[in-house]
Amino acid sequence: MRKLKLIPKLLFLFTFPLLVHAQNNPVVNTGNIKTVNIAGQKVEFTTEHAYGELTVYSPSIIRVRLDQKKLGNDFSYAVISKPVKTTVSISQNEREISITTDSLQAKITKNPYSITFYTPDGKIISQDEKGLNTSWVADEVTTYKKMQEGERFVGLGEKTGNLDRKGSGYTNWNFDAYGYSTGQDPLYSTIPFYMGIHHGLNYGIFLDNTYQSDFNFGASNNRFSSFGAQGGEMNYYFIYHKHLSDIITSYTSLTGRMNLPPLWSLGYQQNRYTYYPDTEVLRIAQTLREKKIPADGITLDIHYMDQYKLFTWDKSRFPNPLAMNKKLADMGFTTTVIVDPGIKVEKGYQAYESGLKENIFIKYSDSTNYSGQVWPGWCNFPDFTSEKGRSWWRNEVKFFANTGVSGIWNDMNEIATWGNKMPSNVLFNYDGALASHKQAHNVYGLQMARSSYEGAKASMNKRPFILTRAGYAGLQRYTAIWTGDNRPEEDHMLLGVRLLNSLGLSGVPFTGMDIGGFIGTPSNSLFARWIQIGAFNPYFRNHAAVNTQSSEPWTHGEEVLEISRNYINLRYKLMPYLYSTFFEATQNGLPVMRTLAIDYTFDAKVFDTSFQNQYLFGKAFMVLPFESTKEFGNAYFPKGLWYDLYTDEVQQGETEKILRLSKNKLPVYVKESSIVPMQSLVQSTQEKPTDTLVLHIYKGQLNNSFVYYEDDGQSYNYEKGDFYKRKISYDAVKHNVTFEKAEGNFKSKFNQLKLVFHGFSTDAQLNNGQNIKDEMNSFLAPISKFDPQGTANPVEGAKVKSITLGNTPAQFVITY
């Protein structure tokens, strides 16, 4: 009996620690589902420890929300779309809830809550890691996903490291990363969107949470990938398509797509920290013209201001900025100026007094204005998360329009202050929701760029150019972005390529980096290679810091000047191709600068660190960036045929090749079946090219099409139909080039079309011995429908005017 009495005591001793652990467990799991409510395209449920909601946003997108308290106001600075009416089947039994569209299935296990996404034919795309699922540690919420065998991860915006993120972890907290290393994290902007790739499948996950967020792709563990945030809801969108490009298109259907930029912003931009006084600015512009270096922009850094105070000009350095900008405009240049968010605390200073009066500054919890130290000294900061603050900024931006400025460069908007330690108890309006610095920090830069765009659009009466350093998902709706304060080093140049490619994967088409490196002086060879690569970047800007050697092209010697001029010339000849590619980005969200992973997702070679820097510029050009110090480079050619841009030599795909490198030539190849429109050389986009559009057609085994696009390049008239758009197609079987009927009311600047065929035979005897001119007139029969002016009636009787025969290419000039 004594032994039997001991048993309950022993059981109590062994179970007591377990009970304490359960009651005080710092990790709270979602638990079992208790209640379910199905309403249309939405499933609402409660679990033991959470409230949840799944919404079908489209046939390919499902949104997941979880929180420990009842789900709050559905508000987002990133997502601008609403659910699309979708044919969906939702059912449940004791074990699970099933959601099925024609493109995607989701099954929610009830005990415990867990979600798995399937293809329509039942293949697992993504699933929660069993036993971990979604859980909370205090306010931090994290979702754990099972890492599939061989899974790769790409995207996440402006992140260092390799193209394939596998094995790495990242933090999203916008940071003033001056002179960052090639492995530093975080950097300036936050885009919590990535794509997973495995077993011939790919998917996207967008975590729409503005708190500091953390992503783990197998860093310090071999079990899971995860994503989470330091506060707020677990709120993510799951996207599935067969092609990576379609995932990007769906992601940008949620977060928006870029507006057409002004044409001049695609030209070469000459920057310096800093050009002053006005005579120096004009000297730089005049030198660019004298040395025949095409250029469209001059950018002014902080020394244009009076003691770094925003919305001012230094009267001694720039006594008449409007007159200076008029002179620049007459020379074909457009002016961009830097703006920082900090408003100097100074009695009598217009912007400060106005901000106080309107009560638009961010505040501590005791309602006093927060002050931080930046360039002008102690500053207050507008609250761009309030409509009142944005309205105030929009009104102030008129200052720039009134002084002839057309571009606004938003800097220091992480928010950056000396010390980089803004207190957490600073409060933001957050569009009426009142949020701490922890929640508002990552969207501050986005909202500043938004305010600048809206203000400039209203006051300039034309398309403004907006550039930002910081941002959040959706920034592409308002602004271009550049990669901040980089360094003049070989590995930084290649890191810049990967940063731009990753931003492109993350829905941002208009991106750039400081050519030559910002902090320090590049070697002549490095500068030459960098400017060659820059000619194939969406935003092409040369920039150098104060206290460094001047880095205009002519400062690196005659050889580098000639190299720079050649590649800038090429950029301007390609302007019809580039502008059309930007138009495509406004339609489908696809980037201008594209990692090979987009088109060759399941080719393991494109993820190899030896080849990961290669990228496509639009659909046609493959750019192979290498260090300027290398004599040889290992290149990979994906499936298909590739033409050397300079020689038309054909390279078979799915092969590696050692290339001999030279200082004066960047390896660039053209994809088979490509259609590339080009124009005559101009010194700025304000100069009209000749009236002949040159269309390069590359023979290939693939059908292809290209949408050629024109408008006036500066106004919003294209929104009213004032554009010229025409689809041009290449038939790889018949080798026909077809021009569909033109759309829009805009009169094309080109009256004549010149076709240049690459890879086609130029033998004078073709098909039964016909004369080549007769044969090509037959071959080009569809050209008779090409009407460069876009009138309703097609032009008949188009004939080949002249033929240039040689080894390759053959050229045919078409007249009417």
Q: What pLDDT does 757 receive?
A: 87
Which position among 53, 208, 411, 711 bears the catalytic label? 411
Which position among 158, 208, 396, 414 bears the catalytic label? 414
CA distance 727 to 310: 46
Q: Among 477-481, 526-530, 608-612, 786-790, which stretch is predicted with the lowest mean pLDDT?
A: 786-790
Give 704's Cβ-side CA count (13 Å radius): 17
Q: What pLDDT does 9 receive?
A: 45
CA distance 32 to 26: 18
Residues 585-593 have a mean pLDDT of 98
Residue 8 predicted with pLDDT over 60: no
Burial of 652 from C-beta contacts in 10 A (0-12 / 13-18 / 19+): exposed
Q: What pLDDT does 25 receive?
A: 83
pLDDT digits (tens, 9 = 90+) for 390-444: 999 999 999 999 999 999 999 999 999 999 999 999 999 999 999 999 999 999 9
Q: What pLDDT does 763 receive?
A: 39
- State the pLDDT confidence band at 808, using cuts at 50, 70 and 90: very low
Q: Say whether 176 is catalytic.
A: no
Q: What pLDDT does 737 receive?
A: 85
Q: Say whether 164 is catalytic.
A: no
What percent of the chain is predicted at pLDDT more than 90? Answer: 87
Nearest to 57 by CA among 106, 97, 115, 122: 106
Asked whether the beta carbons of 142 and 26 are under 8 A apart, the reply is no
Type and span of the H or E element at 329: helix 321-330
Instruction: Say whether 664 sits in a helix, a strand or coil.
Output: coil
Asked whether the beta carbons of 723 and 706 are under 8 A apart, the reply is no
CA distance 754 to 695: 6
Residue owning tokens 């290679």: 529
Q: What pLDDT does 778 receive?
A: 37
pLDDT digits (tens, 9 = 90+) for 714-751: 999 999 999 999 999 999 988 888 888 999 999 999 98
Asked whether the beta carbons of 58 and 86 are under 8 A apart, the reply is yes
CA distance 316 to 428: 37
> Which value, in Å, is the radius of gyration of the alpha carbons in the chain?
29
pLDDT digits (tens, 9 = 90+) for 743-779: 999 999 998 888 888 988 653 222 333 333 443 443 3
Q: What pLDDT does 724 receive?
A: 97
Which position among 454, 485, 599, 775 bears the catalytic label? 485
Burial of 462 from C-beta contacts in 10 A (0-12 / 13-18 / 19+): middle
Strand partners, 771: 765
Residue 19 predicted with pLDDT over 90: no
User: How many angstroms separate the Cα of 11 from the Cα of each of 18, 25, 437?
Assistant: 11, 21, 49
Asked whether the beta carbons of 521 and 548 are under 8 A apart, the reply is yes
pLDDT digits (tens, 9 = 90+) for 289-346: 999 999 999 999 999 999 999 999 999 999 999 999 999 999 999 999 999 999 999 9
CB neighbours (10 Å) of residue 353?
A: 13
Tokens in use for 651? 């390279």
Q: What pLDDT does 366 receive?
A: 97
CA distance 576 to 695: 10
Tell me the pLDDT of the chain averaged across its residues.
92
CA distance 469 to 175: 10
What percent of the chain is predicted at pLDDT more than 70? Answer: 90
Asked whether the beta carbons of 341 and 351 are under 8 A apart, the reply is no
Residues 574-596 have a mean pLDDT of 98
Q: What pLDDT does 811 receive?
A: 52
- State the pLDDT confidence band at 229, using cuts at 50, 70 and 90: very high
Type and span of the H or E element at 533: helix 524-534
Q: Among 146-150, 627-631, 700-704, 811-815, which stretch is predicted with the lowest mean pLDDT?
A: 811-815
Residues 198-227 have a mean pLDDT of 98
Q: What pLDDT does 17 receive?
A: 40
Q: What pLDDT does 23 receive?
A: 55
Tokens in use for 359? 């009560």
Q: What pLDDT does 328 receive?
A: 98
Q: Strand locations in 363-457, DSSP E?
A: 363-364, 372-374, 377-380, 407-410, 426-428, 435-436
Q: What domains lie within the chain, and their CATH numbers?
A: 27-242 (2.60.40.1760), 270-582 (3.20.20.80), 675-815 (2.60.40.1180)
Give 206's Cβ-side CA count (13 Å radius): 26
Type and span of the H or E element at 727: strand 724-731
Q: Say whether 490 is catalytic.
A: no
Residues 76-95 have a mean pLDDT of 97
pLDDT digits (tens, 9 = 90+) for 284-297: 999 999 999 999 99
Residues 87-97 have a mean pLDDT of 97
- State the pLDDT confidence band at 24, using cuts at 50, 70 and 90: confident
Give 116's Cβ-side CA count (13 Å radius): 16
Q: Among 195-199, 346-350, 412-416, 548-552, which stretch is predicted with the lowest mean pLDDT?
A: 548-552
CB neighbours (10 Å) of residue 444?
A: 27
CA 503-551-324 angle, 5° bins: 90
Q: Is the peptide bond before 553 cis (omega within 30 degrees of 0)?
A: no
CA distance 572 to 784: 29
Residue 799 predicted with pLDDT over 60: no
Residue 807 predicted with pLDDT over 60: no
User: How many angstroms separate the Cα of 256 from the Cα of each of 9, 157, 506, 712?
Assistant: 64, 15, 12, 23
